[in-house]
Structure 1
């Protein structure tokens, strides 16, 4: 499983191309030849960049959903709305499709943040606002998500 690390500030050019930071490009090198899928995030106003192997594993899981269940069908449609395949160009730039850039408010100042096996692409101001908004609730969230008292081997602190 891919385990990406880092948060990076970048700039997009007028055509919507973003130079991948060297440290991230190095981490993505093993999976870059197979391309990526870029999509709208479900919970935040940002984009998610999936290495193709990660996307295929997720689609395999989603492919097991019963399409004759209306909720499943609606979820699949909404989850995959606007999905596009993308690649890094020869100089390591990612071209963000205009419709997806508009969804995320991505224009010039961008924050690229890793989230385990995917990359989130944010408008810099929206990213900082999301981090600041969550700061007060993070301790409670950490306890709810990671604070299982029966899981002594995997505690963070």
Structure 2
């Protein structure tokens, strides 16, 4: 699994294209030829950019769900709603489809936030609100999520 690093602020032009910052484009270089999948996030009003290899790994898991179970079928439909195959062009631009622009409420200023093996695309104001420490005590969240993780198993210190 590849992992990406960084948070980048940039803008979307009037044609809904964003210029991927050079440091991030360099990290995505191995995936440029295969393309990407852009989709709605499950828990937040942002978009998720999956390198095709990562998307295929997720789809392998989803494909194991029994589609004759209504809950599974409903999940698959909602999870894949609005999914688009996208490319980063030779100039380093990514076109965001209109329906995904509307879902994510992206206007002009955006934040690209790496999230391990994918990249989130946020409207800047919504991103700032999502990471606002006055809404969630990050220290408490970190302890709840990572406090019982065995360092030997995960290499976390």
TM-score range for the pair, normalised by the shorter chain length:
over 0.9
Tell me the SS of whatever aligns to 1:141: helix
**CA RMSD in angstroms, aligned pairs only:** 1.4
Name the CA distance, whole Å, in 2 between partners of 1:66 and 1:134: 41
| TM-score normalised by the chain length of structure 1 | 0.95
Aligned counterparts of 1:97 and 1:29: Cα–Cα separation in 2: 22
2:10 alignment partner in structure 1: 10
Aligned to 1:59: 59
SS of residue in 2 equivalent to 1:3:
coil
Which runs of structure 2 are paired with 1:17-96 in the superposition (5 Å)? 17-96=17-96
Q: CA deviation at 1:136?
A: 3.6
Contact 1:147 1:155 in 2 (8 A): no
Structure 2 stretches lacking a partner, 5+ long: none
Q: Report Cα offsets for 1:83-115 as digits up to 9, x if no partner.
A: 000000110000000110111011210000000
1:152 aligns with 2:151: yes
Q: Return 5+ residue gaps in structure 1 as ranges.
A: none
Corresponding residue of 1:99: 99
Q: TM-score, normalised by structure 2?
A: 0.95
Q: What secondary structure, in the 3-state scheme, does the structure 1 residue paired with 2:30 have?
A: coil
Pair 1:134–1:117, CA change in 2 (3 A): farther
- The C-alpha deviation readout for 1:10-33, integer Å capped at 9, x for no partner, is 001000000000000000001111
SS at match of 1:68: coil
Distance 1:64 1:113, change over 3 A: same
After TM superposition, the runs of 4+ consecutive aligned structure 1 residues lying more than 6 A away are: none
